[in-house]
Amino acid sequence: MRPVAIFDSGIGGLTVMHEAMERLPDLPVIFYADQAHVPYGNKTPDMIRRYMHQMMADLAPYHVQALLLACNTATSAAAEDLRATADIPIIGMEPAVKPAVLQEAPGQKILVSATDLTLRLDKLNRLIDDLGAGERICRVSFQKLVQFAEQGDFDSPAVYRYLEDQLSPFDMREVGALVLGCTHFIYYKPVFKALLPPSVDVLDGNEGTVKRLQSLLTYDPVGEGGHTSSHPIFLVSGKPANEQQTMFFHRCLDRLKNC
């Protein structure tokens, strides 16, 4: 079977790869982390689109059958641009706003967290408007969690202080759900569960995204340049990951067993 590429600006996409490998253990995966340019949340859309086109060129020798953008910011800034020229399916991320709206009581607020750029771009706002949920939605940036995650800092006192500060404007008695609108944020589910009341659901879009990927997979024989192993290939900004980078990726995957 031809491989699937899973892309992120950094290690956030490993949370989606973890979900994919749980559901599809034999799926050959190429994980591409653009750590030369992380974080994306403080970049311009034009810059991100340039990074995306370089990533597509880097992946060409691998003959992937689909590309999953495991990055909400890249999806918002560049997915439509990629789909206009790509000859493979491009699957993007979508924050789990709709499930939150459907499952929470009408009077409850929903916190939607994301990076600074995702919160500014139209894609998220259109999703909220289409659901008619504007009055229920409160937006919050956890931009600094991306930097914490890339440093391998998942539960230090500094992480707790940062999240307590970001959440302090909100009365949690009025909140029914926290939507994690960046794949990096998923590493911090244990921290959110420690900080938030048990009544607040913590939701992400990984399961729905992987189900969408699964529906598009083909099981054709591997073509020239295909990758047949179920062990993932790790690329860092187009180059094979070195031993230190690979060990860090596996450490992150181990972390996800408890998230």
Residue ranges for the known binding site for substrate are 8-9, 40-41, 72-73, 183-184
Residue 45 vs residues 74, 89, 129, 150, 259: alpha-carbon distances, Å: 8, 21, 22, 21, 30
Residue 245, φ and ψ in degrees, nearest 5: -65, -40
Residue 138 vs residues 109, 162, 201, 223, 241: alpha-carbon distances, Å: 7, 18, 15, 47, 38
> Does the annotation count 182 as an active-site position?
yes
The three-class DSSP label of residue 223 is: coil
- The two tokens of residue 239 are 């180059």
Q: Which of 71, 138, 252, 259 is catalytic?
A: 71
Q: Which of 138, 182, 252, 259 is catalytic?
A: 182
> How far is residue 111's CA from residue 134's CA, in Å, rounded to a whole number?
11
> How far is residue 5's CA from residue 63's CA, in Å, rounded to a whole number?
9
Residue 248 vs residues 70, 178, 241: alpha-carbon distances, Å: 18, 28, 10
> Does the annotation count 138 as an active-site position?
no
Residue stretches of the annotated binding site: 8-9, 40-41, 72-73, 183-184
List active site positions: 71, 182
